């Protein structure tokens, strides 16, 4: 279903920074020269380099060091401290392989001496290590000390010092350490890189913009590989990252301009009477933020170009009613709307809600999922404006709906760029509104959703009960259940969320809905307990969800199928088992399920993992209810790929740029691109 061609659009745009046709035209011979032609490389090593995707001189210059080592400051072995990483140098005194008893394991050990003390270097299960070293070799060793008696390091990084003229490249300076592949050594690659940098870094062309506070591109490549100080390499990396971001923004901008030139919009300029009637009938008053974004959207819809807008706002801020407003504006111009949601449960819930809102207004609502086929069955040729709500099934079914004016995608981070475009093709250049509850920092949004305008709802409806988050060890479960029972006595409802549907043989300590259900039903009796997970048939899910919504079930045991969008205001407690299995953004989404009513909510995270990483991660949720801050923390901890779904979102991949930390560069790149893209 995914369109591979579309998926690679962005990474390509980024790669083009380097494989830039302009670069190649200006310097046809220098940077495009095949590596096999270089002195000292040869056909065989060129093949090894090709495995690292390094084919030309230009590719090699872009091969980013993994890190740098400051070889001006070696540590005497005598001074090595426990657990601290350090670089030292010594001569190999003895070495050899030992076979360990049981399981055919082996240990290779070599002992080096630098005149102050001896250091034991150990490798397990790499018996061929003895081919790399000889007694008497002069060895650099970088590792953390794992034991002091005797001083020992395990699986250190090593490099043999040769006695030749090249040592000014490899010693007494800050040296690059590269990603390698079988058949290549650090020393050899560093030597080749040195030659290439000396000969060709200056051939790298400069872009049209000059930056007073940064090295030129040519200088940046020289310093990236062979900096005088670590800080020079960092600044070089930033320079090259900036160029990458500029190139991305230029591509985005060109695409925007092309779309505007090509696509004929469908200006929808109704009087807004339908919307007025809806707001009059709502049981709540719209927040200022909701009104503001509705206005932004209304202006877009009236414009001569199709809208391309992202609506972001924390879980529960009220995005659905904004989508309704957009739908009504389009309906007033006699056009139809498609709304796609990631789960059947959410699609059904939307259908409920929109029917309530729209039926009095004469706007038809049809549901199209794998089990409901109202749109594809609908024979009526009436011209009544219609909203078709559905899941992925919307993409797969053929239904007749001329004049689609608006496409809305809810929880868009659950879909791919390809799916978004596929849905757009159901109409002739309709307006597009995508909604997401994974709010991200503005600068990042500019990059990830660069081809979209962004509206943000940054305000919660008044009168929401506050949610408190608690992290507890698994053995506190009985107390937690006691607490939840108390809430049920007060008429509240509760969710219990598990990472799995059924048991897994490999992860016995991860609980599953199916295994725990019987136990919990007993614990919560006489309150009714229901179960909901992705392996159930859609009709079964509907029945359970409806029972929970109507209050006939007090407790819902579920997997993350309840993560997105589910709206039951009376539910005020959620217990999450094996909380360590979930991402922060995901937990925040889950928490959103219990902040919908006026009652104070309790979000209880159970885990047996006491590692600092897990505790630190969960502490973020205890500290803040602000989705932006949660997303930022998640971004730093797991990176944008995990946060937003790498292949799903069409996320660009950068060689030098770091989406989680380069906010200032992203912003600056956008300004530059605006100035330099016609």
Using CB under 6 A, list all residues that contact ligand ADP.
284-287, 290, 313, 315-321, 437, 461, 565, 567, 596
- Least distance between ligand ADP and beta carbon 351 (Å): 13
Contact 95, 75 (CB under 8 A): no
- Residue from 331, 332, 312 nearest 322 by CA: 312
Is residue 328 a contact partner of residue 452, using CB atoms and an 8 Å limit? no
Find the shortest distance in angstroms from Cβ 410 to Mg ion.
6
Of 210 and 462, which has the nearer Cβ to ligand ADP?
A: 462
* Shortest reach from residue 280's CB to Mg ion, in Å: 23
Closest CB 315 distance from ligand ADP, rounded Å: 5
CB of 573 to ligand ADP, least distance (A): 18
Written in H, E and C, the secondary structure of 550-597 is: CCCCCEEEECHHHCCCCCCCCEEEEEECCHHHCCHHHHHHHHHCCCCC
**Cβ atoms of residues 441 and 25 within 8 Å:** no
Query: Of Mg ion, ligand ADP, none, which one sits near residue 318, judging by CB under 5 to 8 A according to partner kind?
Result: ligand ADP
Interatomic CA distance for residues 390 and 339, integer angstroms: 6
Q: Decide: is 627 part of the binding site for Mg ion (CB under 5 A).
A: no
**Smallest distance from ligand ADP to CB 283, Å:** 8
**Minimum distance of Mg ion from residue 25's CB (angstroms):** 49
Choosing among ligand ADP, Mg ion, none, which partner's interface includes residue 317 (Cβ < 5 to 8 Å by kind)?
ligand ADP
Taking the C-alpha atoms of residue 23 and residue 20, their distance in angstroms, rounded to an integer, is 5
Instruction: Report yes or no: 627 and 439 within 8 Å, Cβ to Cβ.
Output: yes
Select from 565, 264, 261 the least CA-distant residue to 409.
565
Closest CA to 330 of 358, 350, 372, 353: 358
Q: Which helix (H) or strand (E) holds 388?
A: strand 386-390
String of DSSP letters for 419-435: HHHHHHTTSSS-EEEEE
404 to each of 185, 331, 389, 401, 425, how far by Cα in Å? 60, 10, 13, 7, 10
Task: Compare residues 312 and 512 and give the one whose CB is closer to ligand ADP.
Answer: 312
CA pair distance 659, 678, nearest whole angstrom: 26
What is the smallest separation between the CB atom of 313 and ligand ADP, expressed in angstroms? Answer: 6
* DSSP codes, 139-184: EEEEEEEEEETTEEEES-EEEEEPSSTTHHHHSSSEEEE----TT-
Which CB sits closer to Mg ion, 241 or 315? Answer: 315
Q: How far is the CB of 259 from ligand ADP (least distance, A)?
A: 27
Nearer to ligand ADP, 195 or 459 (CB): 459
- Closest residue to ligand ADP using C-beta atoms: 318
Q: Which is nearer to ligand ADP, 36 or 286 (CB)?
A: 286
Q: Pick one of Mg ion, ligand ADP, none as the site partner of residue 321 (Cβ within 5 to 8 A by kind).
A: ligand ADP
Q: By C-beta, is 68 or 588 nearer to ligand ADP?
A: 588
Nearer Cβ to ligand ADP (236/289): 289
Residue whose structure tokens are 């879980």? 315
Report the distance separating Cα 7 and Cα 17, nearest Å.
18
- Nearest distance, CB of residue 426 and Mg ion, angstroms: 22
Q: What residues pair up with 456 in beta bridges, in sequence order?
A: 312
Nearer Cβ to ligand ADP (43/550): 550
Coil, strand or helix at 382: coil
How far apart, in whole angstroms, are the C-alpha atoms of residue 670 and residue 446? 8
CA separation for the pair 663, 441 (Å, rounded)? 9
Nearer to Mg ion, 159 or 411 (CB): 411
Residue 576: name the closest of 605, 556, 602, 555 by CA. Answer: 605
Q: Which residue is nearest to Mg ion (CB)?
A: 565
143 neighbors 156 (Cβ within 8 angstroms): yes
| Shortest distance (Å) from residue 464 CB to Mg ion | 15
Q: Binds 429, which of ligand ADP, Mg ion, none (CB < 5 to 8 A, cut-off by type)?
A: none
- Nearest-angstrom CA–CA distance, 526 and 553: 11
| Smallest distance from Mg ion to CB 68, Å | 46
CB closer to ligand ADP out of 201 and 497: 497
315 contact choice in Mg ion, ligand ADP, none (CB below 5 to 8 Å, kind-dependent): ligand ADP
Least gap, CB of 284 to ligand ADP (angstroms): 3
DSSP state of 661: T
How far apart, in whole angstroms, are the C-alpha atoms of residue 192 and residue 233?
A: 19
Print the binding letters for residues 565-604 with Mg ion: x by CB under 5 A, - otherwise.
x---------------------------------------
Decide whether 65 or 565 has the Cβ nearer to ligand ADP.
565
- Please tell me whether the peptide bond between 150 and the residue prior to it is cis, using omega within 30 degrees of 0: yes
CB-based contacts of 111, cutoff 8 Å, min separation 6? 92, 93, 94, 95, 118, 119, 120, 121
- Minimum gap (Å) between residue 412 Cβ and ligand ADP: 12
Count interface residues toward Mg ion (CB under 5 A): 1
For residues 492 and 596, which CB has a smaller minimum distance to ligand ADP in the complex?
596
Give whichever of 430 and 439 is closer to ligand ADP, judged by the CB atom: 439
For residue 494, what are the contacts with CB-CB under 8 A and spacing of at least 6?
Answer: 484, 487, 488, 554, 555, 556, 571, 572, 573, 574, 575
- Cα-only R_g, the chain: 30
Measured from the CB atom, the residue of 445 and 565 that comes closer to ligand ADP is 565
Minimum distance, C-beta of residue 342 to ligand ADP, in the bound complex (Å): 12
Cβ nearer to ligand ADP, comparing 158 with 456: 456
Residue whose entry in the numeric block shows the structure tokens 């749109």: 375
**Binding track, positions 533-572, relative to Mg ion; x by CB under 5 A:** --------------------------------x-------
Q: Taking the mean position of all CA atoms in its chain, how far away is CA 382?
A: 44
- Contact partners, residue 296, CB within 8 Å, separation at least 6: 309, 453, 455
The least distance separating ligand ADP from the CB of residue 286, rounded to whole angstroms, comes to: 5
Q: Contact, 387 vs 366, CB < 8 A?
A: yes
Q: Given the complex with ligand ADP, which of 152 and 290 has the nearer CB atom?
A: 290
Question: Where does this chain bind Mg ion (CB under 5 A)?
Answer: 565
């Amino acid at each position: 279903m995914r369109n591979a061609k579309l998926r690679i659009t962005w990474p390509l745009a980024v790669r083009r920074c380097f494989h830039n046709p302009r670069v190649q035209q200006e310097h046809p011979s220098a940077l495009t020269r095949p590596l096999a032609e270089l002195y000292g490389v040869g056909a065989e090593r060129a093949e090894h380099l090709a495995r690292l995707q390094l084919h030309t001189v230009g590719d090699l210059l872009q091969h980013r060091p993994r890190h740098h080592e400051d070889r001006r400051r070696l540590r005497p072995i005598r001074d090595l401290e426990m657990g601290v990483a350090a670089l030292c140098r010594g001569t190999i005194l003895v070495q050899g392989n030992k076979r360990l008893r049981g399981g055919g394991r082996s240990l290779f050990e070599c002992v080096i001496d630098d005149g102050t003390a001896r250091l034991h270097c150990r490798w397990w299960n790499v018996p061929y290590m003895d081919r790399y070293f000889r007694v008497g070799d002069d060895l650099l060793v970088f590792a953390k000390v794992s034991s002091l008696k005797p001083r020992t390091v395990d699986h250190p990084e090593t490099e043999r010092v040769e006695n030749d003229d090249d040592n000014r490249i490899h010693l007494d300076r800050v040296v690059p350490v590269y990603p390698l592949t079988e058949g290549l050594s650090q020393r050899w690659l560093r030597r080749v890189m040195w030659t290439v940098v000396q000969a060709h870094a200056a051939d790298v062309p400069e872009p049209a913009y000059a930056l007073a506070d940064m090295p030129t591109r040519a200088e940046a490549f020289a310093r990236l590989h062979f900096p005088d100080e670590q800080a020079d390499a960092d600044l070089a990396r930033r320079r090259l990252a900036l160029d990458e971001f500029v190139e991305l923004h230029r591509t985005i901008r060109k695409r925007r301009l092309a779309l505007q030139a090509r696509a004929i919009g469908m200006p929808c300029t109704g009087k807004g009477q339908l919307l007025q009637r809806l707001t009059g009938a709502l049981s709540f008053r719209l927040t200022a933020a909701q009104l503001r974004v509705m206005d932004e959207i209304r202006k877009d819809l009236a414009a001569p170009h199709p809208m391309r807008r992202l609506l972001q706002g924390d879980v529960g801020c009220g995005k659905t009613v904004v989508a309704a407003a957009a739908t009504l504006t389009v309906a007033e111009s006699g056009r139809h709307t498609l709304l796609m949601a990631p789960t059947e449960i959410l699609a059904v819930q939307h259908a409920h809600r929109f029917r309530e809102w729209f039926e009095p207004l004469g706007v038809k609502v049809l549901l199209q999922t794998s089990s409901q086929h109202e749109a594809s069955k609908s024979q009526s040729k009436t011209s009544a404006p219609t909203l078709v709500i559905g899941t992925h099934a919307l993409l797969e079914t053929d239904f007749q709906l001329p004049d689609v004016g608006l496409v809305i995608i809810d929880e868009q981070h659950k879909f791919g760029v390809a799916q978004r475009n596929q849905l757009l093709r159901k109409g002739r250049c309709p307006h597009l509104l995508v909604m997401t509850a994974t709010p991200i920092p503005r600068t990042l949004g500019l990059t990830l959703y660069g081809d979209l305008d962004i509206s943000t709802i940054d305000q919660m409806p008044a009168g929401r009960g506050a949610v408190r988050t608690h992290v507890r060890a698994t053995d506190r479960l009985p107390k937690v259940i006691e607490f939840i029972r108390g809430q049920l006595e007060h008429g509240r409802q509760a969710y219990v969320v598990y990472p799995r549907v059924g048991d897994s043989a490999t992860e016995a300590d991860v609980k599953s809905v199916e295994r725990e259900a019987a136990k919990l039903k007993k614990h919560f009796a006489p309150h009714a307990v229901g179960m909901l997970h992705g392996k159930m048939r859609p009709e079964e899910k509907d029945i359970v969800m409806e029972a929970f919504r109507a209050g006939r079930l007090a407790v819902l045991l579920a997997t993350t199928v309840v993560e997105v969008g589910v709206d039951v205001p009376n539910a005020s407690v959620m217990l999450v088992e094996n909380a360590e299995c979930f991402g922060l953004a995901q937990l925040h989404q889950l928490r959103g399920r219990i902040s919908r009513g006026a009652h104070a909510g309790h979000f209880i995270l159970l885990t047996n993992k006491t590692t600092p990483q897990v505790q630190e991660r969960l502490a973020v949720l205890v500290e803040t209810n602000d989705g932006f801050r949660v997303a930022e923390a998640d971004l730093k901890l797991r990176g944008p790929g995990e946060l937003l779904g790498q292949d799903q979102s069409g996320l660009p991949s950068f060689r030098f740029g770091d989406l989680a930390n380069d906010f200032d560069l992203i912003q600056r790149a956008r300004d530059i691109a605006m100035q330099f893209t016609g």
